[in-house]
Amino acid sequence: MIDGRTQLVGVIGWPVEHSLSPAMHNAAFEALGLNWRYVPLPVAPGLVREAVRGLVALGFRGANVTVPHKQSVMSALDSTTPEAAAIGAVNTLLITRGPDGATASGYNTDARGFINALRRGGFEPQGKRVIIAGAGGAARAVVHGLLAAGAGQVTILNRTVERAHRLISELGDPRLAAQALTPESLVTAADGAELLVNTTTVGMWPDIQESIWPAGVPLPSHLTVFDLVYNPLETLLLRQARKSGAQAIDGLGMLVEQGALAFEIWTGQPAPSEVMRVACERQLRSGR
């Protein structure tokens, strides 16, 4: 029951109506018997500063931040963690109140969420050679997570190769390299790698018949393939991987793990990640 003591969090984004986060977090609050609620908060581009002020004024405890506000929200905050500053994006806000007023702090849980999901999938990135397909916002968090977790070599393959070059020159880490993403370059690079991460939107609903991997070519069976796409849960890329005897990890794990970290920042309690995953799967199955 919502009453006068209910604590509020939510997600600011545009659009937010397909977000799985309300179902995921409300299931977690219910499982732990917490009088908290998580609401979708549609915030049009350009209004993020007003939205943060509104959350502070309305007594919200925090929020998630999603597309297109992850970068623009940073200038509206009182502080950001060094990790979020290094990634250049905030996906979680914590609002704290004291005698001197309220402060809004920005965190990024995407990079650690990715690494936690990878490890839960049975892959330890320390010292490994990794290929990342894509160089957009999702790739940034993944690359940061992998470098922080001690990956040995990270090659970014992107359709627009300049974007991959920009990303690696900005990060300035000798373990990074950039290449153009083509079927041929991907197949060649995969031979010398232990992990392939798809951060592109290729294969996402409704284009479920698409894959970055060429049809009819088996993937190396020693490879682990992590697809950030979670709608559908089993992408064509992951089907190709499984058929070739490679390990396949779906993108829901990262959504759940970044959410679990946000939950812990807000509530100070360990998140029930299994409950959260089940809630997301149910929501995906119901067709949203």
User: Cβ 127 to ligand ATR, closest distance in Å?
Assistant: 26
User: Which member of 25, 61, 69, 70 is catalytic?
Assistant: 70
Position with the least CB separation from ligand ATR: 136
Which run of H or of E encompasses 134?
none
Residue closer to ligand ATR by CB (options 13, 22) is: 13
Own/partner long-range contacts of 235-241 (Cβ < 8 Å, ≥24 apart) = 235/198, 235/203, 235/204, 235/208, 235/211, 236/203, 236/208, 236/209, 236/210, 236/211, 237/198, 237/202, 237/203, 237/211, 237/212, 237/213, 240/211, 240/213, 241/213
Residue closer to ligand ATR by CB (options 119, 165) is: 165
Residue closer to ligand ATR by CB (options 120, 163) is: 163
Contact 191, 219 (CB under 8 A): no
User: Cβ 3 to ligand ATR, closest distance in Å?
Assistant: 38
The 247-249 sheet, strands edge to edge: 176-180, 153-158, 129-133, 195-198, 224-227, 247-249
User: Cβ 191 to ligand ATR, closest distance in Å?
Assistant: 20
Based on the residue annotation, tell me whether 70 is a catalytic residue of this protein: yes
Residue closer to ligand ATR by CB (options 37, 166) is: 166
Residues that bind ligand ATR (CB under 6 A): 134-139, 158-160, 163, 181, 199-202
User: Cβ 163 to ligand ATR, closest distance in Å?
Assistant: 5
For the annotated catalytic residues, the residue numbers are: 70
